[in-house]
Structure 1
Amino acid sequence: MQEYILGGYTRRDNEGLKTIQFDEVEGKFSNKKLIAELGSPTYVALSRDKSLLFAIHKDSENEKAGIVAFRKDEHQNWNEISRLLATVGSGCHVSYRESSQTIYVSNYGDGELDVYHLDVNDQLHHVQKITHTGSSVHPNQEKSHIHMGLLTADQNSLIVCDLGTDYVSVYSIDDEGLLELKHEIKMPEGTGPRHAALHPAKPYLYVIGELNNTTNVLEIKNDFTFDLVQTVENVPQEYRSDASGAAIRITQDGRFIYSSSRFHDIITVFEINEENGQVSEIQKIGTVGQIPRDFILDQTESFALVAHQDSDHLSVFKRNSETGKLSFIDNTTYAPECVCIALA
């Protein structure tokens, strides 16, 4: 059995943060449990050994937002160890750096990066705030909207997607976990860079454009600057004005990329060229649900597990490891308002 964390909004039927088990033999979910009644825990991050969990929390009564930290005990239960509500605006993405025990929270509404530190006594501290400025051409780009902070494999740099300004930035990280801007690239106007995935072995970054519904291939140079080498469409031209890019995942062998698109409600599958990192589409498949905000490849990469924000059910797809293509299996598991699914 595999265990996953489900995060989401709490506007309707969702009570907060949950765990759920997935049977990789049967391809089915079971045993959903509530971890904590948090306010719209829309994204989480875990330590590499899966003993620490960090979740976004919005306290609507006090109009404060921040991070809640949990530790897994010997009985495999999650227990809260600390919480710190250091901002007004709620985050939309979280990353965790092991060596400095720092947490990086992307704040879409305020265009800010907030850095938290978990000390040796398991207490959270807010240690840095970085504010982006700027805008771009799309109506949703009236100001900065930071949507993701992606740690590199060595965890010495943070790649930041700013949907509002069309910039993808690289911050170096010092020994204490603090950030310093090093490089940035301006994506084509109206791209709306939302999320990104790094190739596991080669110098390529794959960025999903929320606003222009594209997957973009960036080559990473030795000094960690970027060159944009390819842009491909995720949805057919006639649906691009209504669709909205969401999540992007890459296989561990670096052969395939998967991009989800909301409102058109599909996953687009691309094969990656081994020589130049560029992609070619091999499949478009409906997610059998509404608003596939997030999805994940399971631990064996034999399945794709898709969370739907509006239709409130998880879809399961079988994945062919040779061709990369998906085939639908089931969407009967109820997970209301789910916008994040993470391996626990």
Structure 2
Amino acid sequence: MRSLIILCLLSITCFKPMEAQSDVVKKRDSINKIYVGTYTRKEGHVDGKAEGIYLLNQDPQTGNLEFVCTAAQLINPSFVKVGKMGKYVYAVSELGPKDGDSGVVHSFEIQEDGSLKNIGKLGTGGFAPCHIALDRSGKYAFVSNYMGGIVMVYKIGSDGSLGKSQELKLENSDSAHAHSVKISGDNRYAYIADLGNDKIWIYRFNIMTGQLEPHKEKSIELEKGAGPRHISFAKNGSFLYSINELNSTVSAFSVKSDGSLNHLQNISALPETYRQGNSAADIHIHPSGKFLYTSNRGHNSIAIFQINSETGKLTHVDYIPVAGKTPRNFAISPYGKYLYAASQDTGNITTYKINEETGKLKPQEPVFQIKTPVCLEFVK
């Protein structure tokens, strides 16, 4: 009995208890939930036709998707993020100056049937909020506003609600387009992709106060006209990668012990023979840490790169077309078996089986039809 009590106490105090092999297998076999962010109305860059946030089921064995319901109705939930414990969902309403004082971020509690109960909303301090990130503890949320150069930091309450912690205005805010925030693996540094100023801003993150504090390096500048959009870290945290929207490249950096960045490489996200218009969109690294994927709007493809684990540099593997137009965000399923690409302008999601040895993608049938999908978020 005493040993059983000790074992229970250890499992309570561990950050992430070890799982029995049978539990891991059950998780691999269980149905996964995906929340889909969408556009609900016509904007300058999109003809939104959706109703709000959709809920899908994913079969982890076949990769097939199944529509469940409209989980929440709201305007332009173009980015959604599931909270750390899988109990809450956060979503922006991508609103402009004609809609009110600012954009909005919503908090939802996930119900037993997967529907979302709204538990609060707050202004984002700027317009066209386009990205939500969480710190590694899951206690803070960061919302990037494309218009206004403002990043908002929110404290996440025990009930999932948000409370304002900080309003950060980037330098050169008139030209800034804050597109995303990424927190380092040790939770000490924040990196802000500023598409308008071709910079990645570097901040120290104080988890005790919930504040972003200026880093001595301030920022690293990318090529003029690059347009950094989203950021991913290598599995070991030693390298950082930026997908650059405007010149369709990936920039690779090594991460120093003090959080500053050293530029390693720029590599095209397009085939050499492609000469038409394109804007790069999303970036994700496979759970194995071996492969990096990006999406292309215009070329309408997923680009695949292999990561050199020692140098951090990338090499091209393949380009695979999507069965649609304007693939914006995409998602890799838990355990890395499938990749799903959401095509905004043709209203569909392409499913790919991932070859975990080569990183290559094999399209699966059928192509899943859904209105104006732009963001895919698994509940993990």
TM-score normalized by the length of structure 2: 0.84
Match of 2:199 among 167, 184, 198: 167
How big is the shift at 1:238? 5.0
**Which secondary structure does the structure 2 equivalent of 1:19 belong to?**
strand
Aligned to 1:138: none
Distance (whole Å) between structure 1 residues aligned to residue 158 and residue 327 of structure 2: 38
Letter in 2 for 1:148: S
Letter in 1 for 2:62: E
Matches within 5 A, 1:172-187: 172-174=204-206, 175-182=208-215, 183=217, 184-187=219-222
Match of 2:258 among 206, 223, 226: 223
Of all paired residues, the percent bearing the same amino acid is 28
How big is the shift at 1:62? 4.1
Larger Rg: 2
Aligned to 1:44: 80
Matches within 5 A, 1:153-302: 153-174=185-206, 175-182=208-215, 183=217, 184-237=219-272, 239=274, 242-302=277-337
| Higher normalized helix content (fraction of residues) | 2
Does structure 1 residue 55 correspond to structure 2 residue 80? no
Per-residue CA deviations over 1:52-97 (Å, capped at 9, x if unaligned) read 2111025675454221101224554432111113535131000123
Aligned to 1:34: 70
The 3 A distance-change label for structure 1 pair 149 and 69 is same
Matches within 5 A, 1:20-169: 20-58=56-94, 62=100, 64-87=102-125, 89-97=127-135, 99=137, 101-120=139-158, 123-134=161-172, 143-169=175-201
Aligned to 1:7: 37
The 3 A distance-change label for structure 1 pair 49 and 240 is farther
Per-residue CA deviations over 1:17-57 (Å, capped at 9, x if unaligned) read 11111112222100331111111011122222211211102
Q: Is the 8 A contact 1:38 1:58 kept in 2?
A: no
The 3 A distance-change label for structure 1 pair 288 and 171 is same
Aligned residues: 338
Aligned to 2:367: 332
Letter in 2 for 1:234: A
Distance (whole Å) between structure 2 residues aligned to residue 88 and residue 194 of structure 1: 17
Q: Is the 8 A contact 1:42 1:56 kept in 2?
A: yes
Aligned to 2:55: 19
Q: Unaligned regions of 5+ residues in structure 1, if any?
A: 136-141
Distance (whole Å) between structure 2 residues aligned to residue 262 and residue 250 of structure 1: 19
Q: Unaligned regions of 5+ residues in structure 2, if any?
A: 1-30, 42-47
TM-score normalized by the length of structure 1: 0.92
Q: Once superposed, what is the RMSD of the aligned Cα atoms? A: 2.0
Letter in 1 for 2:89: L
Distance (whole Å) between structure 1 residues aligned to residue 151 and residue 237 of structure 2: 27
Letter in 2 for 1:9: Y
Distance (whole Å) between structure 2 residues aligned to residue 61 and residue 162 of structure 1: 24
